[in-house]
Amino acid sequence: MDVVGFHNHKIELQIELSTNQLELEKAMVLTLCDSDNQRIIMWITYFILCLVTLTLASTDGNVNDMLIHIRTIMERYPMDEIRWNDLAIHCQENCARVLRIHPHAKIIQDHNCLHQETIVTASLPQDLSFGKCTWIILQSEEQEQVLDCNIPPFQSQVYLLKLLQQSRFELWETYQVENVRERNLVQIWNNKTLLFQNEAILERRSSLASAHFNVIMAEWRPFQYIQGYDVENAQGFSMDLLKTLQSSMNFSYTLNGSEYQIQGDVFKNGSIYGLLGLVAQGQYDFGATVFVMSEDRSKHLNLLYVGTSITRVIISWIPPIIGVNDAILSMFNVDVWAVYAISLFLLTTYGSMSSMASRRHTGVKDHGEVGLAILGSLFGQGAAHPLNLISFRILLITAFLLGLMFSITFSARLISSLSVQKEINNLATLEQVEEEGVEMFIPGFGADLTHYSEASSDTVEGRLWQKKIGRSPEFHTNPYSLQALIGHSSKEAVALGYQNVVDEYRSRNPGVGCKLQTSKVPFFNGRLHFPFRPDFPYLEVFHFQLQKMEQSGIIDKLVQKWVKNIELTEEFMCQHSNQNEVTQVTFASISEF
């Protein structure tokens, strides 16, 4: 019996037997792997194997050799660490005898399509499908053709044992990618010595050259930008991440979406809309747009962590500067209309009076004389005063009023323009950062209003609900999510990372900023994910590649490129608080949407 290989507590044993009672073709493969079988099943399987071996084997010493090998394996891998899960036997003929020895074995007829061979699997669990612990060993390339009518799926572990010489063989794996058969060399053995070991199974199968994916994206700055209507012009963190995955995994894709594509979310009633809904329904393989993990989303989609996080997001309406004077800015909506209305009234009155005056001089008699006399008396002219003098004074009064209104409008705009340039270094506490011109915090777009209404009063969310959100009717237009309000609002807005605001304040005011007690503010830390359709078969290899990108620092470089062009920690900034030179930080993650 030769040891074929070891894979994460999976042990393959090649047992050579000679017997007159049962014609077994050269190989019997025993696979040991992790499962939920009980310890008693392990021992029963162990004794059955020994009993069958003693019954069938001849007296040429093979039995003793096999028992020594089994004992060595059992000592190396104690029973509490592994499970005996599957005993796969390949026989050429007379499989009924194998069934008598293993009455629970089942013949997989699906593979008996092009060749007069049958693969018998004596399986302890009920599941005989291709799973992580179901291994089928074929002995030649010709025997692999047996599987042509039912190509093993991507997740299967079907191996081909190719004998090169008497004591030298290769172990290959076979599987499919989008109905295309793939083969990888796993190991090369010579006289019980491992000569070559390929990468781990997820590394070997990360090449998806035969796969073409249908991908959808939505704009979410600063992680994703779409210029115009052409999605091919998309750029940003998500797009670079997609291209990096394509480069390492060799798949191709078709990109869909536009700048008007809604990200979507899961409603309380379980319905899904937007990009998430399209992916959950299987219309697209995955979304090249990052989302924050939530319990409702994870029920309908596969979400893979892409190796980065975001902190709280501040949403501030235009103008996007901390410290906006809302009282003065509200005049922008009424001052022009007020001047327009008053000027129109005065000009209409002046025109009417001029018309009446001209008619009076030409002898025209009408009811305008009565109105003119009344208006003249209001200005102290009396009914007998010349009409042309009354008309002239009305013109002067109109010009004076118009000048006054334009002066007020200009002053209001000038004061407002000066007031919105309030610097963040004038803020002394984090509470002022929250209150000064900041409408609300959103931990990722699509946040539920209950996240604020049910928050404790000593948290950021609780204070904002009491001071801002709870008092503003416009934030209650959508009972489920804030995303519809933000996405369709006619007002432009700007997204600021909350931690960036605090860092900006500290960098400008190290003496005061480094004394702020930020530990009292429970910062939201949203882990960003790519959404995949529920039955996506390549989820494990995508997860494996994303982990490699995170460990190698590739994702950190993408974050630095698109989200933060400079990273300053509290320790770095505050250790220079006594120096004259102050570290400057820019709002690199600010973007209008």
Write the pLDDT tens digit of every residue in 162-173: 767 767 777 788
Q: Of 199, 234, 259, which closes a domain?
A: 199
Strongest mean pLDDT among 286-290, 449-453, 517-521: 286-290
Write b or e for each residue in 215-227: b if 16 or more Cβ atoms lie within 10 A of its Cβ, otherwise e. bbbbbbbbbbbbe
Strand, coil or helix: 567: coil
Domain that holds residue 134: 2-199
**Residue 392, domain member (yes or no):** yes
Q: Of 364, 389, 419, which closes a domain?
A: 419
* Higher per-residue confidence, 191 vs 389: 191
**Residue 344, domain member (yes or no):** yes
Strand, coil or helix: 3: strand
CA separation for the pair 129, 354 (Å, rounded): 98
Which DSSP category does 425 fall into? G
Supply the pLDDT for residue 499: 54
**Residue 433, domain member (yes or no):** no
In this prediction the pTM is: 0.49
**What's the number of domains the chain is made of?**
2
Supply the pLDDT for residue 351: 67
* Higher per-residue confidence, 169 vs 244: 244
Q: Of 199, 216, 232, which closes a domain?
A: 199
What is the percentage of the chain residues whose pLDDT exceeds 70? 32
Is the pLDDT confidence value at 214 over 90?
yes
Supply the pLDDT for residue 321: 38
**Residue 258, domain member (yes or no):** no
Which residues make beta-bridge pairs with 3? 13
Is the pLDDT confidence value at 287 over 80?
yes
Strand, coil or helix: 324: coil
Contact predicate 280/287, CB 8 Å:
no
**Residue 277, domain member (yes or no):** no
- 195 and 343 together in one domain: no
**Residue 265, domain member (yes or no):** no
**Residue 427, domain member (yes or no):** no
- Mean model confidence pLDDT for the chain: 59
CA separation for the pair 7, 116 (Å, rounded): 31
**Residue 375, domain member (yes or no):** yes
pLDDT tens digits, 101-133: 344 444 443 333 333 333 333 333 333 333 333
* Higher per-residue confidence, 313 vs 303: 303
